Amino acid sequence: MAQRVQGTEDLYGDYMRAWQRMTDVARELFDAYGFDAIETPTLEQVDTFVHGIGESTDVVRKEMFRVVSGALFDDLLARGSEAHLKPRQRMAMRPEGTAGVVRAAVEHNLVPQGGAPAKLWYAGAMFRGERPQRGRLRQFHQVGVEWIGASDPAADAECVIVLMEYFRRLGFDSSTLRLTINSMGDGTCRPAYREAVRRFILDHADEMCEDCIERAALNPLRAFDCKNARCREVMEAAPKVDQALCDDCRLHYGQVKRYLDEAGIPYVEDPRLVRGLDYYTRTVFEVEVEGSGVGAIGGGGRYDGLMELEGGRPTPGIGFAVGFERIYLALQAQGVAMAGEGSGCVYVASMPDQRAAAFSATLALRNAGIRTEADYQGRSLKAQFKQANRLGARICVVLGPDEVAAGVATVRDMTSHEQVQVPLAELASHVAERLGA
Ligand code: HAM
């Protein structure tokens, strides 16, 4: 039997309905905040991610799924190197949405000089070659927003506010959500801070793991995220970014916090929150659900250098993304059914000689926008009623010889078991009215 790839999931039934609800809630909420939908390709040139996310990040070095066409694959194996490939031949499945959206904003000049910011939201599958475990998949689903062209700290605060409102609307108990924030500095103050952390790691090299020593050279701030308990202990004493911020960054961060306070959003400051993607500058944030054991359900931050890294003009930006699979697990743990009710339907039951009349009635109901099912397996009336119950039908329309001879249908309410006869010409409007009531 063919099997799905490890770390991927099929979305169907309640799980699919939950993903649809997650995007529906996003559409309504993000629309109110002025975000327009965008869909960028799942496949991008590798360079889009290398430039944006950063060459030294785990996401780019270890987790990106690289793609070549079948013909090139053979050629690649024969040559044993990809050095000869043109940039457009080196592709990857997107590990996240931000780099692609910003690439699109540059390519289509979505933020013209002196023009209004671009406010975009997206929903779709992302791919990371991580070791699969609960809440960590190789193909997972994100909903995210990118607000490109705004440097105002109010934009940072609004991103956090809309994120927390999103979780509230999905049904989370707000008291269990833990919002962590930090400022990572910018091009003025971060280089010196990175250097201070690099020196700290090298001074404590004998106490830290191989990976962290490697990180010292490539990306020292990642050492704050090391899984190794001893490294975490040592890093407790490492220089903290809040001591290293330049005046502009300190001011910006202070204003973000003031806006959050004004909006009554509780948060925890964590100067070790560094996030795994290199493009972040200044504000970063993450949300976890206490006791859920699934890690962050959402995160984001400011990326004032990313437009330039993708070949555009210097343009500030900020955004976030949330992970569907983790949200689903965390909500389940809180006893919240994310899928909501199944949509129910109307069922048209008939005897074999009245099949043609049932066919027409089914079409008429569907044309009136009513979700309608019927029998396509030649089952008995009794079996059709059972099927109607199984499908959660609220109304059953019965077409037997007497009904068809009289030009009517019997409309049966599946809850109260009341039934009335309705002229066939009025069936759709009658049923629509009943469903609306
Ligand atoms: P991220 O923190 O890498 O940020 O991912 C956002 C969310 O996606 C995480 O909080 C988590 O819920 C979910 N997620 C990430 N990796 C996995 C995985 N392997 N399996 C299941 N869920 C996962 C970003 O992706 C940034 N693009 C967010 C952003 C937008 N920053 C600015 N704009």
Instruction: Give me ligand 1 centre to Cα 116, in Å.
Output: 27
| Ligand 1 atom closest to residue 128's alpha carbon, by position in its atom list | 19
Asked whether the beta carbons of 307 and 105 are under 8 A apart, the reply is yes
Instruction: Give me ligand 1 centre to Cα 63, in Å.
Output: 13
Would you state the pLDDT for residue 342?
A: 64
Would you state the pLDDT for residue 97?
A: 98
Would you state the pLDDT for residue 338?
A: 86
Asked whether the beta carbons of 347 and 395 are under 8 A apart, the reply is yes
299 lines ligand 1 (CB under 6 A): yes
d(CA 387, CA 403): 21
Instruction: Give me ligand 1 centre to Cα 286, in Å.
Output: 10
317 lines ligand 1 (CB under 6 A): no
Beta strands 317-323 and 393-399, pairing class: unpaired
- This prediction has a pTM of 0.92
d(CA 44, CA 141): 17
Q: Give the distance, in angstroms, between the CA of residue 131 and the centroid of all CA atoms in the same chain.
A: 20
52 lines ligand 1 (CB under 6 A): no
325 lines ligand 1 (CB under 6 A): yes
What is the largest distance, in Å, between two alpha-carbon atoms of the chain? 93
d(CA 196, CA 213): 14
Would you state the pLDDT for residue 341?
A: 65
Q: Which protein residue has the closest C-alpha to ligand 1 atom 30?
A: 320
Which parts of the chain have pLDDT scores under 70? 340-343, 437
Q: Which protein residue has the closest C-alpha to ligand 1 atom 22?
A: 323
**Domain annotation for the chain: domains and CATH numbers:** 13-37+109-189+245-333 (3.30.930.10), 345-436 (3.40.50.800)
Of how many residues is the chain composed?
A: 437
Would you state the pLDDT for residue 141?
A: 98
257 lines ligand 1 (CB under 6 A): no
